[in-house]
DNA sequence: CTTGACCCTAAAGTACACTATAGGGTTTAT
DNA sequence: ATAAACCCTATAGTGTACTTTAGGGTCAAG
């Protein structure tokens, strides 16, 4: 019933290498059970969910040691007080909200560039609308200026 | 009129070290003008905005080489066609939206933990509500389960 | 019963993003 | 005019997160 996958199958599904999975084990991030007749690693569905969390967290800029702490909130509850859990999660939530905010600004700035550009095969140097936003949009603290379309 | 700051002042404002700024120059990411009487680096307001963009982009998981490409959209327009610009920005926007999505899931999962935990000084092992969410919330593909409050 | 695809450990090597060190010039304030 | 506080270059070293190498076991298919 509890489907266990071997390292190669997990790696393939997650689009990472088996070496990365062994590395995560050596770092105590994701510890599968080991088959005691073959010595092979066997990953449960929960292990695969955990791996998903690791990969998504990495993508948005968390380090492996931060991810380890996040995972330990669930796994090592008895090592923390409720106060610690509450403070830590509160701080992380703030951090995440700030990342979301930064990403929304970047998305807006790039959308302005994207919408302004005609997408044709000529040099973007000629793209006057692209030229017209020559100071701010891509940078932080940008304002929400909307632009028209097309060249010249 | 154009206020130029020395490296130490810029570093202090951005809360990074002068070595990092010199490193960014060596990587062609942020190239200030050099005073030709003292040989000191002089950073313009635009340079500082650029630095802001670099720092915010880094925070959300972009590598220095990705950031360099993003910056080059504005700086080296003549080296790209409109088509390239449009495709590149389109792809980056998708990537950013996906990061936002992941962060929103993490935020929700951590908020559930945060709201469930009483914040008291006892071991979180005792925190039955924290115990009750013992499989999914923190992990990817989580669903939006809302929890009550308090211990026992 | 062997061959190929897969798995194992241990240890060395690599890419990225800094960080520190050595040796020296510039500015500013007393 | 001299000393603290700042700046410079060049180069070596560090931490993180893998990646590769070397030398073997395991397992399903033919
Ligand atoms: Zn264009
Ligand atoms: Zn165009
Ligand atoms: Zn609690
Ligand atoms: Zn509690």
> What residues of A are in contact with residue B98 (Cβ under 8 Å)?
59
Domain A5-78 has CATH 1.10.1660.10: yes
Please give the distance of CA A88 from its chain centroid, rounded to a whole number: 19
Query: Of A61-75, A138-152, B112-126, which one has max mean pLDDT?
Result: A61-75
Q: What is the CB neighbour count within 10 angstroms for residue A86?
A: 22
Is pLDDT above 50 for A69? Answer: yes
> A5-78 and A80-139 share one CATH topology?
yes
Does the distance separating the beta carbons of A139 and B50 come in below 8 Å?
Answer: yes
As a CATH number, domain B80-139 is 1.10.1660.10
Please give the distance of CA B90 from its chain centroid, rounded to a whole number: 19
Which residue in A42, A40, A99, A30 sits closest to A70, CA to CA?
Answer: A30
Whether the pTM exceeds 0.75: the reply is yes
Q: Would you list the domain boundaries of chain A?
A: 5-78, 80-139
Please give the distance of CA B93 from its chain centroid, rounded to a whole number: 15
Q: Give B13-39 pLDDT, tens digit per residue.
A: 999 999 999 999 999 999 999 998 999
Residue located via tokens 């702490």: A69
Percent above pLDDT 90 for chain B: 68
DSSP secondary-structure letter at B37? T
Q: To which H or E segment does residue B101 belong?
A: helix B82-116
The nucleotide closest to B19 (CA, C1' atoms): C19
Torsion angle of the four alpha carbons A94, B69, B18, A67, in this order, in degrees rounded to the nearest 10: 30
Torsion over CA: B66, B70, B76, B80 (sign): positive
Per-residue pLDDT at B152: 52
Beta bridge partners of A34: A41
Nucleotides of D under 7 A from a protein CB: 6-9, 16-21, 25-27
Please name the residues between 106 and 125 in chain B that touch chain A, using a CB distance below 8 Å.
Answer: 106-107, 110-111, 113-114, 117-125
Per-residue pLDDT at A143: 40
Token pair listed for A90:
């509160």
Taking the C-alpha atoms of residue A49 and residue A8, their distance in angstroms, rounded to an integer, is 16
Distance (Å) from CA A75 to ligand 4 centroid: 16
Which residue in B117, B138, B54, B100 sits closest to A96, CA to CA?
Answer: B100
Q: What is the CB neighbour count within 10 angstroms for residue B10?
A: 21
User: How far from B108 is each of A148, B12, B53, B130, CA to CA, in Å?
Assistant: 37, 34, 27, 15
Instruction: Read off the pLDDT band of B140 (50, 70, 90).
Output: low
Taking the C-alpha atoms of residue A85 and residue B124, their distance in angstroms, rounded to an integer, is 7
Both ends of chain A: CA-CA distance in Å? 65
Taking the C-alpha atoms of residue B17 and residue B24, their distance in angstroms, rounded to an integer, is 11
> What residues of A are in contact with residue B121 (Cβ under 8 Å)?
81-83
User: How far from A79 is each of A72, A76, B133, B138, CA to CA, in Å?
Assistant: 9, 6, 17, 18
Does the distance separating the beta carbons of B123 and A82 come in below 8 Å?
Answer: yes
Per-residue pLDDT at B125: 87
Is pLDDT above 80 for A109? Answer: yes
Instruction: Read off the pLDDT band of B148 (50, 70, 90).
Output: very low
Asked if residues B32 and B41 have their Cβ atoms less than 8 Å apart, the reply is yes
Mean pLDDT of the B70-82 span: 89
Asked if strand C comes closer than 7 Å to A23 Cβ, the answer is no
Per-residue pLDDT at A116: 85
Which residue in A22, A110, A82, A142 sits closest to B66, CA to CA?
Answer: A110
Instruction: Read off the pLDDT band of B50 (50, 70, 90).
Output: very high
Asked if strand C comes closer than 7 Å to B150 Cβ, the answer is no
pLDDT mean across residues, chain A: 88
Taking the C-alpha atoms of residue A151 and residue A148, their distance in angstroms, rounded to an integer, is 10
Asked if residues B10 and B48 have their Cβ atoms less than 8 Å apart, the reply is yes
> What residues of A are in contact with residue B96 (Cβ under 8 Å)?
103, 106-107, 110
Asked if residues A72 and A92 have their Cβ atoms less than 8 Å apart, the reply is no
- Chain A touched by B129 (CB under 8 Å): no
Is pLDDT above 80 for A129? Answer: no
Which of A106, A121, A129, A131 would you mutate first to test chain B, the one with the most B CBs within 10 A? A106
Please give the distance of CA A146 from its chain centroid, rounded to a whole number: 29
Token pair listed for A56:
């998504």
Residue nearest to nucleotide C5 (CA to C1'): A8
Report the distance from CA of residue B145 to the C1' of nucleotide D12 in Å, as an integer.
53
DSSP secondary-structure letter at B40? -
């Amino acid at each position: 019933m509890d489907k266990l996958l071997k390292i190669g199958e997990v790696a393939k599904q997650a689009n990472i290498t088996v070496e990365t999975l062994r590395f995560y084990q050596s770092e105590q991030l994701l510890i599968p059970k080991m088959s005691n007749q073959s010595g092979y690693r066997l990953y449960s569905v929960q292990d695969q969910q955990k791996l998903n969390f690791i990969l998504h967290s990495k993508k948005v800029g968390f380090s492996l040691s931060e991810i380890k702490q996040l995972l330990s909130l669930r796994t090592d509850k008895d090592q923390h007080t409720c106060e610690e859990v509450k403070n830590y999660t509160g701080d992380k939530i703030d951090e995440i909200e700030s990342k979301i905010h930064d990403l929304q600004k970047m998305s807006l700035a790039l959308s302005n560039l994207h919408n302004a550009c005609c997408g044709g095969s000529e040099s973007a140097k000629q793209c006057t609308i692209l030229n017209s936003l020559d100071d701010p949009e891509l940078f932080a603290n940008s304002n929400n200026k909307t632009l028209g379309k097309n060249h010249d």
